Amino acid sequence: MVLPKNGAFNWSTAEEARMRMTEYIRSHFSGLLGEDIKLLDLPNGLDLIQDHVTCRLAEHGILSNRAQAAA
């Protein structure tokens, strides 16, 4: 994964990383995800969002079967 170099993703704990990633996704992708942004409120929300995005990319032919199998 490529992360911004502005220091926004310099974290010291896994919990802090999860919190910052969740905030980043909410602020930058809420329009794209729509109601599915609520998945982030669940304990495994980041995993659910990743699975959701992977499925949507595959549905639109953006993600190949090979990449989908690796995910």
In a domain, residue 68? The reply is yes
Q: How confident is the model at residue 28 (pLDDT cuts 50, 70, 90)?
A: very high
Does residue 67 lie in a domain region?
yes
Q: Is position 1 within any domain?
A: no
pLDDT, residue 49, reads 94
Tokens coding 23: 């905030």
**Domain membership of residue 47 as a residue range:** 38-71
Q: With a cut of 90, say whether residue 39 has pLDDT above it.
A: yes
> Residue 2: inside a domain, yes or no?
no
- Decide if 10 is inside a domain: no
Number of domains in the chain: 1
| Assigned domain for 24 exists | no
Q: What is the pLDDT of residue 1?
A: 61
Q: Please check whether residue 50 lies inside any domain of the structure.
A: yes
Encode pLDDT of 55-71 as tens digits.
888 888 887 655 555 55
| 8 A C-beta contact, residue 58 and residue 50 | no
pLDDT exceeds 80 at position 10: no
